[in-house]
Amino acid sequence: MRGGLAQSPQNYCHTTNTRFLPSGTGYIGSFTALAILEADYKVVIVDNLYNSSEEVLNRIELICGKRPEYYSLDITDEKALDKVFEEHPDIDNVIHFAALKVSSNMSREGRQYGI
């Protein structure tokens, strides 16, 4: 499975407060989302699932009993992002992990990497 939390999780967690916006169900984003949920903040994730899976949301919920809010969208879609912030005026921090990171893909899909 692509994305973070692909391996079997352990367990714990509690309640919620403010919202954060980690941009990703990816490897680092998903572990960050989990840590933030465990610290009793709410989490809103946006990801286009280019390199991850919605299954990550199930894994996060399995680990801590809380499911982050999730929007399937591309972060270059400004209008869609504005809508997320309008729906969540309590977002007070943004942690941005959305990226194309695999260098072996660069020659094949160079335009997406801006080269």
Ligand X SMILES: NC(=O)c1ccc[n+]([C@@H]2O[C@H](COP(=O)([O-])OP(=O)(O)OC[C@H]3O[C@@H](n4cnc5c(N)ncnc54)[C@H](O)[C@@H]3O)[C@@H](O)[C@H]2O)c1
Q: Which residues bind ligand X (CB under 6 A)?
A: 3, 24-29, 47-52, 74-76, 97-101
Minimum CB distance to ligand X, residue 35 (Å):
13
Rounded CA separation 60/37 (Å):
9
Minimum CB separation from ligand X for residue 13, in Å? 21
40 vs 54, beta carbon nearer ligand X: 54
Residue (15 or 88) nearer to ligand X, CB = 88
| Nearest to ligand X of 14, 96 (CB atom) | 96
Q: Which is nearer to ligand X, 40 or 84 (by Cβ)?
A: 84
Minimum Å distance from CB 110 to ligand X? 15
Query: How would you classify the pairing of strands 42-47 and 19-22?
Result: parallel
**Paired tokens of 30:** 């998903």
Secondary structure (DSSP) of 63-113: HHS---EEEE--TT-HHHHHHHHHH-TTEEEEE-------GGGTTTSGGGG
